[in-house]
Structure 1
């Protein structure tokens, strides 16, 4: 592993470590929940609210409010189901698909910053991560 490292590999390991050690921040949770909702809609397109709620293991009222946010952001399209006018059909918009398929922006930012470091600095960071990974949980 020593000397064969890349900024991308270190960024991925560090991002996993940050999520594990400090991923309970409000912003991290919100981003994770948004991605979970988008993935649930994509998995059952055209998805119903109840299908999405079951997939993310949350109540329908909370999921409904979260879907409202995704609709306003242009990530989800919500229309009446032609087969059942009392039900709404949820689909990802093209922006929603791109958002779901794109790695989190923080990963790119971190990788870009790490790419500016010298090889010796990258090795030092890698060693530090190895030490942090061995910490008792």
Structure 2
């Protein structure tokens, strides 16, 4: 996205990065884990619990409990696989897809402060974020 540095885009990317890095709070970390689970479901639709577990690197029991919460929240749909009734197929609901496609909530005050920077400074911040995004997890 080099050269398309807007305060809103940088604020959203930074919020997503903070979420991916665990955030400063337990709530930010939980939100990041929730997004990771939903992204894993979306990447393999119809996904199995084992596929999602492998994608996020967590055990099936923990992922199953987390998926239960996503199902209760209306973000993920769980159905019996028509080809194998013993296997469950996981899919994002429309609401889940919208949630996942929406960038994490960026702090509006951060966006306002970034709006006061020069274009060259915004491009420098964008480049710094690109570097941070490449850091191994």
Taking a change above 3 Å as real, the CA distance of residues 28 and 91 of structure 1, as seen in their structure-2 partners, is same
Is the contact between residue 15 and residue 104 of structure 2 (CA under 8 Å) also seen in structure 1?
A: no
Query: Aligned-pair distance for 1:114?
Result: 3.5
- Structure with the larger helix share: 1
* Aligned residue in 2 for 1:69: 69
Structure 2's unaligned 5+ residue stretches are 129-137
Query: Aligned-pair distance for 1:108?
Result: 5.9
1:21-60 superposed matches below 5 A: 23-60=23-60
Taking a change above 3 Å as real, the CA distance of residues 21 and 110 of structure 1, as seen in their structure-2 partners, is farther
1:1-137 superposed matches below 5 A: 6-8=6-8, 11-12=11-12, 15=15, 23-105=23-105, 107=106, 109-110=108-109, 113-114=112-113, 119=116, 122=117
Taking a change above 3 Å as real, the CA distance of residues 38 and 10 of structure 1, as seen in their structure-2 partners, is closer
Query: Aligned-pair distance for 1:10?
Result: 5.3
The TM-score, its normalising length taken from structure 2, stands at 0.70
User: How many positions carry a matched residue from both structures?
Assistant: 119
Taking a change above 3 Å as real, the CA distance of residues 22 and 98 of structure 1, as seen in their structure-2 partners, is closer
Q: Partner of 2:86: helix, strand, or coil?
A: strand
The TM-score, its normalising length taken from structure 1, stands at 0.70
Q: Which has the larger radius of gyration?
A: 1
Structure 1's unaligned 5+ residue stretches are none
Computed over aligned residues only, the root mean square deviation of the Cα atoms, in angstroms, reads 3.1
